[in-house]
Structure 1
């Protein structure tokens, strides 16, 4: 029963992440919502809710303990700003300029970026699986962004730039989180990182500066979904799934996220996807599966899987 519960939680959480990006696109296009305001509000509310879950759970003392070491506190601040905030902002900016499907798929090229980084740092010898992962990522990006045409892009350039930056930010986020996650619970690290990122972005766009009357009941429903279901519950379910599943299994089932983003973008928002873009989507999903199924003997895939429990959209 615990295993079935874990599978349900990780699949639901991953699907909510993917759908949340598509709903955010709806807010940008139909309600003119500002990306700065949405990211600020999303991070602050979801972050405090995750810390609230930890407060009513086990080892609540970790919420304060994480700040008692100067080195850990600095590490957490950097993670919150250059990791969490960077990932969330670049991802949402890519959605605003393009769509949730492309933004999610570009972000999920992060494992290939990590493998290249570790090889360049000589922290691991490239294996056949590593080369397959990089090849699938490159092929996937090519087909996804060009739809098979060498003369023009099928996605707006700003969406591509923000999407690639989102992948870079996620690669940093993944590697930088490992030492923190070895000392403290994921809810504590992710919750505080969201709060830190939200407070920092509040200086750019305070959450109270918005024309709330201009938002319809439908708009509020979408906003509620993005913050609560697409962020807080998605993170919570994914982290809870690790109580009964291995990180490898959770990351494997988590590949539902880009698939959910693509399907909702195509069938709900009615945005066209060409044949080669579907091929590119397949390549990137296969890349995710290759990483998730990677053996522990590969140092690259091992380091990625070690921090899978912290990954977020």
Structure 2
């Protein structure tokens, strides 16, 4: 009788990395909400500062780990340059700004869950462009999402919204931006290292945002220690390490496994929002959250089958 081989140490490291990465993403959104609503930090300023610093750090990490390779290789042709700039503005910058606006106007739990509507938008894109046909699994996922989103936003009552309609608007835009980010990045990631693609996209997005929201037009010296710690947590843990750990986990785990464990992001956002910021969550919203999480897990389980179809 064959015995199952023990879990290799490198796979254990992969699990640790993806769990930490997803958790940092979710917690980072909650910390951003703290800065917006209790420290009066402006959304545009945080986005520009966050993208600039995280982009510089990611590109630096790439250069340290790939000393013989140029960080400018991605700008070798006009076609790649165009794609990288478009990805930076309509992908990275758009998803960061819309997500943060949804948090500022609502809360991180709802914003993160609305961003996770992206798989449905990707599904709709493939269906409209006739790259795939709707399956039974797709129908189940759509049903879970529609019911879950209704309960999340209304707590089961048609007369009230749990967050302002503007927060819902920016949250849905965040999901659309995340879908574009995911689809449009594929050709670039097939040619260049992910640290370069994302690092440059963050840096470009940060430079563009700096035209409107200058990072240097704020006196950090007047911040309380807690505010400073929150800010650097968002930059280092909620942005740079979250992405780096998630990408690095692909060295040890399959994409299917990392996607499955990546669903911890909305879960950590909900838990930290409720426990730390004491965001009220009704019974209907709890059920809605569980339905949306079930959609994420369900689509992940059937990912390979859907890709083949």
TM-score by length of 2: 0.95
Q: Distance in 1 between matches of 2:263 and 2:208?
A: 30
Listed as ranges, the gaps of 5+ residues in structure 1 are 304-313
Matched, 1:217 2:225: yes
Displacement of 1:94 after TM fit? 0.4
Displacement of 1:59: 6.9
2:142 aligned with 1:140, yes or no? Answer: no
**Alpha-carbon distance in 1 for matches of 2:79, 2:248:** 28
Counterpart residue number, 1:311: none
Partner deviation per Cα, 1:268-312 (whole Å, 9 max, x = no partner): 00110010101111111111111211242323xx69xxxxxxxxx
Equivalent in the alignment of 2:210:
202
Hey, what does 2:5 align to over in structure 1?
none
User: 1:30 deviation in Å?
Assistant: 1.4
Matched with 2:115 is: 107
Deviation at 1:60, TM superposition (A): 5.4
Check conservation: 1:144, 1:276, Cα contact below 8 A: yes
SS in 2 for 1:123: coil
1:71 aligns with 2:79: yes
The match for 1:272 among 275, 280, 283 is 280
Q: Residues 81-120 of structure 1 correspond to what in structure 2 (within 5 A)?
A: 81-120=89-128
2:162 alignment counterpart? 154
Shift of 1:83: 0.2
Aligned-pair CA distance for 1:130: 1.3
**Cα distance in structure 2, aligned partners of 1:63 and 1:291:** 35
Q: What is the distance in 2 between the residues matched to 1:195 and 1:260?
A: 27
**SS of the counterpart of 2:305?**
coil
Aligned equivalents of 1:135 and 1:298: distance in 2? 17
Deviations 1:41-62 (A, max 9, x none): 0001001101111101137525
Alignment match of 2:138 (pick from 130, 150, 156): 130
Could you tell me which of 30, 33, 41 is aligned with 2:49?
A: 41
1:178 corresponds to which of 167, 186, 192: 186
Residue 32 (structure 1) aligned to one of 22, 40, 50: 40
CA distance change for structure 1 residues 60 and 89 in 2, over 3 Å: closer, same or farther?
farther
For these two proteins, the number of residue pairs brought into alignment is 301
1:307 equivalent in structure 2 = none
Q: Distance in 1 between matches of 2:211 and 2:85?
A: 16
TM-score, normalised by the number of residues in structure 1: 0.94
Partners of 2:163 and 2:70 in 1: CA distance: 44
- Alignment check: 8 A CA contact 1:62 1:188 kept: no
- Give 1:222-261 correspondences, 5 Å limit: 222-261=230-269
Checking the alignment, whether the CA contact within 8 Å between 1:180 and 1:189 is kept in structure 2 is yes
Q: Residues 183 and 62 of structure 1: is their aligned pair in 2 closer, same or farther, counting only changes over 3 Å?
A: farther
Q: Which has the larger radius of gyration?
A: 2
